[in-house]
């Protein structure tokens, strides 16, 4: 079965079930000098242990997916650097082994903005718009090895999502 999900506008209200939006345009710079501007406090992560800052490069592909992943013990940040992407998310299901497919959404994330995902929020690799895109990813060190739960809902429930961009 194919489920079409329309890429929605990213707003505080629409994204609230998954986390918060990181947007420097909404925050007064902490320091503003002639040669730089510094914004502090875009998000506060409550990560137990060392934190890793990673680079994720995503490549053009068909606007469909069937896999979702979650991290039960860490929050996560995706920050789009050079190109708009579609952030793919689903509500957390702490007492269930699979995502609640009714909560799966797609949000257009503009370059220069980011999203903060709460612990346990299901998500998938962002879908690039218009070519290769780079994102900064921040989460607890060791997350890919120790706290990565990936489910293929097509394999488990016969569902594949198509993104209406």
Task: Report the predicted TM-score, pTM, of the whole model to 2 decimal places.
Answer: 0.89
Residues 119, 97: Cα–Cα separation, whole Å = 15
The boundaries of the domain holding residue 156 are 2-164
Question: Which tokens hold the place of 29?
Answer: 């710079």
Dihedral, 7, 74, 59, 107 alpha carbons, nearest 10 = 10
Q: Are strands 160-164 and 64-65 parallel, antiparallel or unpaired?
A: antiparallel
pLDDT band at 81 (very low <50, low <70, confident <90, very high): very high
| Distance in angstroms (rounded) separating the CA atoms of residues 93 and 88 | 16
- The domain that holds 149 is classified in CATH as 2.60.120.480
CA 24 distance to own-chain centroid: 17
Averaged confidence pLDDT in the chain: 92
Residues in the chain: 165
The total number of structural domains that make up the chain? 1
Does 36 score more than 80 pLDDT? no
- pLDDT over 80 (residue 103): yes
In the predicted structure, residue 137 carries a pLDDT above the cut 80: yes
């Amino acid at each position: 079965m194919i489920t079409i999900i329309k890429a929605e506008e990213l707003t505080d209200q629409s994204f609230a079930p998954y986390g918060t939006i990181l947007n420097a345009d909404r925050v007064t710079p902490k320091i503003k000098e002639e040669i730089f501007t510094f914004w502090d406090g875009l998000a506060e992560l409550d990560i137990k242990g060392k934190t890793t800052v990673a680079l994720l490069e995503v490549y053009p592909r068909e606007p469909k997916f069937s896999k979702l992943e979650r991290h039960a013990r860490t929050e996560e940040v995706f920050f789009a650097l050079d190109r708009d992407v579609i952030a793919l998310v689903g509500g957390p299901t702490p007492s269930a082994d699979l995502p609640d497919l009714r909560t799966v959404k797609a949000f257009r994330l503009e370059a220069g903005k980011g999203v903060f995902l709460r612990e346990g929020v299901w998500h998938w690799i962002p879908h690039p718009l218009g070519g290769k895109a780079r994102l900064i990813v921040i989460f607890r060190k060791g997350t890919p090895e120790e706290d990565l739960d990936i489910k293929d809902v097509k394999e488990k429930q016969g569902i594949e999502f198509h993104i209406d961009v």
